[in-house]
């Protein structure tokens, strides 16, 4: 089965009881037993729910893993993943991370003695050097990163990490399995904020883990139940519904982002455009190699800094100023004061998240309208 067909059919047979083509939303917190501990595989809604099972099996199939697990948020998924590592464990993480991921890592450092070292993983040799300083339990990164759209070479980093015995987890939220499948490239664990492209309609908060190896997957399933950050059956249904259109949506998001990137690239008021689909992106070749499209996210730096960013945001039509991304509607974010405000200013700026940086989540509106909106807002800067 090809990927777009898998989105609709993989691990999603019609309901065996009724033939319904969509799984029923099982709003039941508990399940009857015919005798103590004799049941049909479902006992209590935190441990497992039949609607959730359909989503979890579909996620495993789409990301080519053995076990898929759904969570109540992306950070719920990350919290559960981190429960795997005892205090004193070392994590080597990419240095360009979702702000909430960084905040949670830092919390685990202070609270539980987890050692976290942040490295620029755009160069594989940097990981090698970091791992030479001492062993790590986990190598964790996003690609493309948020908000600077830097890439990490999943196959190369996985190989280097595995040589030193570390597990590799990739946050695949920005690309989605429609464009990139880290487990096929050598990673061990994929994390999603399904709030974003998997859900796709800005109407739920959700997360997911997909694990390649069955044993580690079962360990994570145990933690999913032990920690308890599970989604509601209704939210699960909405993610499943979103997944069905992921392929067509990702292509439309990509067309919108390309149109916007081309307008930004031509403007003298813009000093940098970060979009892996541009030939000028320093890792365009890697993007072509490990992705099947470049996605709907991009960021750009205005030469005029904060005042220019403020004027641009005020003039911009169609794009809604809001956190989050990956929905059918276009959103714009000012990372320095919004999504990345919890990262200290010096660290933020050293990483390239300056006051003039804007992050675009291009929706699936007509690309020409998105391009027009950006073009006319630039006139006001
Ligand atoms: C949003 C996001 C998260 C966190 O997910 P929530 O669903 O908000 O908890 C993690 N990583 C990335 C890349 C994100 O965009």
Mean pLDDT for 242-260 is: 98
Band of residue 32 on the pLDDT scale cut at 50, 70, 90: very high
Band of residue 197 on the pLDDT scale cut at 50, 70, 90: very high
User: What's the total number of domains in the chain?
Assistant: 2
Q: How far is the CA of 101 from the centre of ligand 1 (A)?
A: 8
Is 360 in the same domain as 238? no
To the query of whether residue 171 is one of the catalytic residues in this protein, the response is yes
pLDDT at 343 over 80: no
Is 217 in the same domain as 282? no
Q: Find out whether the peptide bond into 353 is cis, omega within 30 degrees of 0.
A: no
Is 78 in the same domain as 147? yes
Q: How far is the CA of 75 from the centre of ligand 1 (A)?
A: 6
Question: Which of residues 244, 276, 297 is at a domain's end?
Answer: 244
- CATH at 168: 3.40.640.10
Is 38 in the same domain as 149? yes
Is 39 in the same domain as 78? yes
Is 255 in the same domain as 239? no
Nearest protein Cα to ligand 1, atom 6 = 74
Nearest protein Cα to ligand 1, atom 4 = 74
Site of tokens 């813009």: 270
How far the first Cα of the chain sits from its last, in Å, is 49
What domain range includes position 84? 3-244
Is 237 in the same domain as 326? no
Q: Which of 73, 75, 198, 209 to mutate to test the pocket of ligand 1 (most atoms within 8 A of CB)?
A: 75
The string of pLDDT tens digits covering residues 212-226 is: 999 999 999 999 999
Q: How far is the CA of 194 from the centre of ligand 1 (A)?
A: 8
Q: Where are the alpha helices (DSSP H) in the chain?
A: 3-9, 50-62, 74-82, 99-112, 124-132, 154-163, 176-179, 214-227, 233-244, 246-266, 284-290, 305-315, 345-350, 367-379
The string of pLDDT tens digits covering residues 60-97 is: 999 999 999 999 999 999 999 999 999 999 999 998 88
Band of residue 347 on the pLDDT scale cut at 50, 70, 90: confident
In this prediction, what percent of the chain has a pLDDT beyond 70?
Answer: 100
Band of residue 273 on the pLDDT scale cut at 50, 70, 90: very high
The string of pLDDT tens digits covering residues 288-336 is: 999 999 999 999 999 999 999 999 999 999 999 999 999 999 999 999 9
Q: Which residues line ligand 1 (CB under 6 A)?
A: 73-75, 98, 100-101, 142, 146, 171, 173-174, 193, 195-196, 205, 207
Is 59 in the same domain as 174? yes
CA pair distance 361, 364, nearest whole angstrom: 10
Question: Which of residues 212, 244, 276 is at a domain's end?
Answer: 244
To the query of whether residue 110 is one of the catalytic residues in this protein, the response is no
Is 43 in the same domain as 98? yes
Is 131 in the same domain as 199? yes
Is 234 in the same domain as 278? no
Question: Which of residues 244, 275, 308 is at a domain's end?
Answer: 244
Angle (nearest 5°) at CA 343 between 342 and 345:
115
Q: How far is the CA of 99 from the centre of ligand 1 (A)?
A: 9
The string of pLDDT tens digits covering residues 91-120 is: 999 988 888 999 999 999 999 999 999 999
CA pair distance 184, 248, nearest whole angstrom: 22
Is 237 in the same domain as 258? no
Kindly report the backbone phi and psi dihedral angles of residue 372, in degrees, each rounded to the nearest multiple of 5, phi listed first.
Answer: -60, -45
Whole-prediction pTM = 0.97
- CATH at 356: 3.90.1150.10
**One of 42, 90, 96, 98 is an active-site residue; which one?**
98
């Amino acid at each position: 089965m090809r990927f777009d067909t898998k989105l609709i059919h993989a691990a999603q047979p019609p309901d065996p009881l009724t033939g319904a083509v969509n799984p029923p939303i099982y709003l039941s917190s508990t399940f009857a037993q015919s005798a103590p501990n004799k049941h049909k595989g479902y006992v209590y809604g935190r441990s497992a729910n039949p609607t959730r099972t359909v989503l979890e099996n579909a996620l495993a199939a789409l990301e080519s893993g053995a076990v898929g697990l759904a969570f109540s948020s992306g950070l719920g998924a990350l919290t559960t993943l981190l429960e795997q590592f005892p205090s004193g464990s070392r994590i080597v993480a990419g240095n360009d991370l979702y702000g909430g991921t960084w905040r949670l890592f830092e919390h685990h450092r202070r609270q539980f003695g987890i050692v976290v070292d942040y490295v620029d993983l755009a160069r594989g040799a940097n990981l090698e050097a970091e791992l030479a300083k001492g062993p790590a339990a986990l190598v964790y990164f996003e690609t493309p990163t948020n908000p600077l759209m830097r890439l990490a070479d999943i196959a190369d980093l996985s190989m280097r990490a595995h040589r030193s015995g570390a597990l590799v987890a990739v946050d695949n939220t920005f690309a989605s399995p429609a464009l990139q499948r880290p487990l096929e490239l050598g990673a061990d664990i994929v994390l999603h904020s399904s709030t974003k492209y998997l859900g796709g309609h800005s109407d739920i908060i959700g997360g997911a883990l997909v694990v390649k190896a069955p044993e580690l997957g079962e360990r994570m399933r145990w933690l999913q139940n032990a920690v308890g950050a599970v989604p509601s059956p209704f939210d699960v249904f909405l993610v499943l519904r979103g997944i069905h259109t992921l392929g067509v949506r990702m292509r439309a998001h990509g067309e919108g982002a390309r149109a916007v990137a081309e307008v930004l690239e031509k403007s003298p008021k813009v000093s940098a455009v970060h979009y892996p689909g541009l030939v000028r992106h320093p890792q365009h070749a890697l993007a072509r190699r490990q992705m099947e499209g470049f996605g709907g996210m991009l960021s750009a730096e205005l030469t005029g800094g904060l005042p220019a960013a403020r004027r641009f945001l005020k003039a911009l039509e169609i794009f809604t100023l809001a956190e989050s991304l990956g929905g059918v509607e276009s959103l714009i974010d000012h990372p320095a004061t919004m999504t990345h405000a919890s990262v200290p200013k010096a660290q933020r700026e050293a990483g390239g998240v300056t006051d003039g940086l804007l992050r675009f989540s291009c929706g699936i509106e007509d690309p020409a309208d998105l391009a027009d909106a950006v073009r006319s807002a630039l006139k006001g800067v």
